[in-house]
């Protein structure tokens, strides 16, 4: 009987003696320490500026970290070195932009200025900042929906005071001034929370609904900016006249 062996049996695939090469890792390479040391101190701000521009084009939800890295002219691994995730980067961009909005508005509402000056100042701050950072309203709404505690944390970080302490101060200041204006016959009665809510809503709505506003009114970006410039002049008058007795 013919005896079959591995050498003579063509149906048996001979085992290779060569050692298999390991597959290259697909993990993201971390930036080299020398690369990090060579960076200027404003690299983080460079990334934040780039993320801001991408968020303007895509929105924070539609933005991609690779596009942000390309915009900043840095390696994607470096972006992750500073911020770890897109969510952390978005939070940092939001906090930087909100720092230009929330503290000045809170300061204006809680000041000793008369109500007319407060209204003019709040409208000016809101419209100027939101024109530069139009994604803020959408981001705030998303944050409130998915992480309600983020707003309290942000207010505390920006002002050094918890919102539970800050809100009564602002409401008390506005309440005193409204009551005085009502007694003097200069204003119809309105609760301070409705006063503040109406004022902020009239400022924020054009930005929160910007795509719809531009589509309905047939505005390009330049025309929208001109609309906001007119609104900055006209809104305080409209708001205050609506409260006249």
pLDDT of residue 150: 67
* Number of other CB atoms surrounding residue 40 within 10 Å: 8
pLDDT of residue 57: 79
pLDDT tens digits, 176-196 = 999 999 999 999 999 999 999
In a domain, 50, yes or no: yes
Same domain (yes/no): 200, 222: yes
Same domain (yes/no): 150, 114: yes
Show the tokens assigned to 85: 């995730």
Same domain (yes/no): 221, 167: yes
Whole-angstrom distance between the N-terminal and C-terminal Cα of the chain? Answer: 118
Same domain (yes/no): 122, 230: yes
Q: Which of 92, 107, 134 is the last residue of a domain?
A: 92
The pTM assigned to this predicted structure is 0.70
Longest dimension (CA), the chain: 122
Number of domains in the chain: 2
Q: Which of 49, 70, 92 is the last residue of a domain?
A: 92
Match 């998915």 to its residue by tokens: 146
Same domain (yes/no): 188, 126: yes
Q: Give residue 79's domain range.
A: 39-92
**Cα–Cα distance, 142 to 185 (Å, whole number):** 41
Match 């001979």 to its residue by tokens: 14
Provide the CB-side half-sphere exposure for 42 (13 A, CA).
3
In a domain, 15, yes or no: no
- Ranges of the chain whose pLDDT falls below 70: 1-41, 143-144, 146-147, 150, 157-160
**Contact between 174 and 157 (Cβ < 8 Å):** no
pLDDT tens digits, 192-212 = 999 999 999 999 999 989 999
């Amino acid at each position: 009987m013919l005896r079959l062996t591995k050498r003579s049996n063509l149906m048996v695939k001979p085992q290779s003696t060569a050692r298999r090469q390991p597959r290259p890792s697909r993990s993201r390479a971390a930036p080299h320490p020398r690369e990090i040391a060579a960076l200027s101190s404003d690299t983080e701000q460079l990334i934040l500026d780039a993320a801001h521009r991408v968020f303007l084009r895509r929105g924070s939800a539609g933005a991609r970290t690779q596009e942000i890295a390309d915009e900043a002219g840095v390696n994607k691994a470096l972006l992750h070195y500073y911020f770890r995730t897109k969510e952390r980067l978005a939070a940092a961009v939001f906090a930087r932009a909100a720092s230009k909005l929330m503290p000045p508005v809170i300061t204006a509402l809680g000041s000793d200025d008369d109500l007319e000056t407060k209204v003019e100042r709040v409208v000016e701050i809101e419209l100027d900042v939101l024109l530069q950072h139009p994604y803020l309203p959408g981001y705030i709404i998303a944050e409130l929906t998915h992480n309600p505690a983020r707003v309290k944390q942000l207010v505390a970080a920006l002002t050094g005071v918890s919102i539970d302490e800050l809100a009564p101060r602002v409401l008390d200041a506005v309440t005193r001034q409204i009551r005085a204006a009502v007694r003097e016959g200069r204003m119809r009665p309105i609760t301070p929370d409705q006063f503040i809510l109406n004022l902020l809503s009239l400022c924020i709505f054009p930005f929160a609904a910007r795509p719809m506003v531009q589509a309905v009114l047939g505005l390009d970006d330049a025309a929208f900016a001109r609309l906001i410039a007119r609104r900055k002049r006209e809104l305080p008058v409209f708001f205050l006249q609506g409260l006249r007795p």
